[in-house]
Amino acid sequence: MERAYCFLGCLLLAAGGPLAAAKRFHDVLGNERTSAHMREHNQLNGWSSDENDWNERLYPVWKRGDPRWEKSWRGGQVKAVLTSDSPALVGSNITFVVNLVFPRCQKEDADGNIVYEKNCTDGAGPSADPYVYNWTAWAEDADGGNGSSHSYGEFPDGRPFPHHHRRRHRHHHGGSKCGFVYVFHTLGQYYQKLGRSSASISINTTNVTLGPQVMEVAVYRRDGRAYAPVAEAKDVYLVTDQILVFVNMSQKNDRNASDETFLRDIPILFNVLIHDPSHFLSGSIISYRWNFGDNTGLYISNHRTLNHTYVFNGTFSVNLTVQAAVPGPCPSPTPRPPKPTPSLPPTGDGLLELREGLDEDCRIDRYGHFRAVLTIVEGILEASIVDVTEVLPPLPPPEDPLVDFLVACEGTMPTEVCTVVSDPSCQLAQNTVCSPAEAAAGAACLLTVRRAFRSPGTFCVNLTLGDDASLALASTLVSVRGRRPGSPARMAGGALAAGCVAALVAVIALVVHRKRKEYKPIDNSAGVRGKGLTVFLEHAKVKFLPGSREKDPLLKNQPGLLKASA
């Protein structure tokens, strides 16, 4: 009897030993056991139960803090960054992307191998081998030339790598292999795939429980015929039955749209953005219901943009409800009892009702909400340049020409004004000056802006009037000529030159006159000569020094181009 008990105990130990030692996917990836009910309820298409065995011999398992992590990658440690386009509306697809960040001076080349960057120093000096990991050479050695799926590799659950993956990369990349194995895990299920330094997966959320969930990924690299863990990452994603809605609000002359302070009497543009990265709502009928909180009623629209103008100052609550009729599966139709009529077979009416039910386009209503509190204030509504005037320079004239711009505005009085001087195309800014705004005497919103120009020419001038809540822009094209010919400085020099010319002409005329005329006594000719010289000088002055302002170039401005000079 004792021998029988001993033999039975040995059998139990032999049977129980491997079971206790064997690891499952949830032992490697999951922190908590997932119930069978949850796995069944959240069934993901193409995923497997984490109750399957994990091949620890081929894919070793290291806990956090294991010293082997420090030597799992040459030259440092690899970091995995896992992201998603969460939150996801239930029924839509959610995509996860994991990217590997390599140590300094390492990168992935066109063939998927990990190489050292040229002209990069990582503190260890240059390496004689350009490869950190050469997957191509390792794959060729592993295949051994026979091309068998077993020699090529297998996943942690024992399934072989896909054959099409190997053939595609042999054809396009000269025999290179993907060097990484990614194992994703969520909701008690796992998915495994090959990849390079980046990998992505998508799951449908139709059967996923609403609320936050956790996705985790383990990354392994090729290590000869085995695989070594190099990185792990987690990401929390959200599945919801509410449409995620954003609203961008913008307004002309508004200084800062992010502070939710806008101006009275100017339309505000409301632009609705729906978070739908998988285009799940593309076939839905979407309506937008607005209440702007100013007793203007309810606005219903099928367009995602809408303008609204507030005519009073104050604080207003904006509420938006988005309704989407999403195409969905129709419930199974229930045949009605057949009508007791002799002309109709007993099952005919039931079949007709079933056909009508199948032809119906069933939809599920989903809703999204947005609310914001807006502050409406007065501001600068409009600004315009009504006059451009040259500034007559003092003696001597200044180095830079000066121009006065008379600016009129509507609304509140600006507190500052900025001037941007650009080329005639208004594309290349040359100078920017800002200064406090000073109102003209007796005017509610009228101010004079004086600006200096570095040189003559044609310029595009933009004037921006601003206060705490608003900005208004006015522009014009101005021609600056610099010191004009009739300015006092040039007039003095011109008079001197004209006098010299007149004296020279008088001398020549006197010599000619003496040769052609008979000699006369000096006392009789002196007055005549003096009078003639005086008349000649008067004519020369009129010719060379015109005093009339009717010929001033400023009176010949072309229409549409404001000219100024100093």
For residues 156 and 179, what is the distance between their CA atoms, to the nearest angstrom?
Answer: 15
Q: What length is written for the chain?
A: 566
Count of other CB atoms within 10 angstroms of residue 306: 18
Query: Within the chain, which residue ranges are assigned CATH 2.60.40.1930?
Result: 53-136+177-240
Alpha-carbon gap, residue 184 to 215, rounded angstroms: 7
Task: State the Cα–Cα distance between residues 306 and 251, nearest whole angstrom.
Answer: 12
> Which pTM value belongs to this model?
0.69
Beta carbons of 407 and 418 less than 8 angstroms apart: no
Q: Are 64 and 183 in contact (CB under 8 A)?
A: no
Superfamily covering domain 53-136+177-240? Macroglobulin (MG2) domain (2.60.40.1930)
Q: What is residue 521's predicted lDDT score, i.e. its pLDDT?
A: 41
pLDDT for residue 134: 87
Give the Cα separation of 487 and 499 in Å (integer): 18
The HSE-up count of residue 139 (CA atoms within 13 Å, CB side) is 26
Distance CA 308, CA 292 (A): 8
Buried b (16+ CB within 10 A) or exposed e, 48-82: ebbeeebbeebbbeeeeeeeebeebbebeebebeb
Q: What is the pLDDT of residue 7?
A: 45
Q: So what's the pLDDT on residue 341?
A: 53
All residue ranges of the chain with pLDDT < 50 are: 4-20, 145-150, 165-176, 343-359, 485-513, 515-566
Q: Which CATH number fits domain 243-329+361-377: 3.40.1190.10, 2.60.40.10, 2.40.30.10, 2.60.120.200?
A: 2.60.40.10
Location of each CATH 2.60.40.10 domain in the chain: 243-329+361-377, 380-480
What is the pLDDT, as a whole number, of residue 337? 62
CA distance 275 to 243: 7
pLDDT of 164 reads: 57
Counts of helices then strands in the chain (DSSP H, E): 9, 30
Give pLDDT, residue 401: 83
| Half-sphere exposure at residue 95, Cβ-oriented, CA atoms within 13 angstroms | 9
- Domain 380-480: which topology? Immunoglobulin-like (2.60.40)
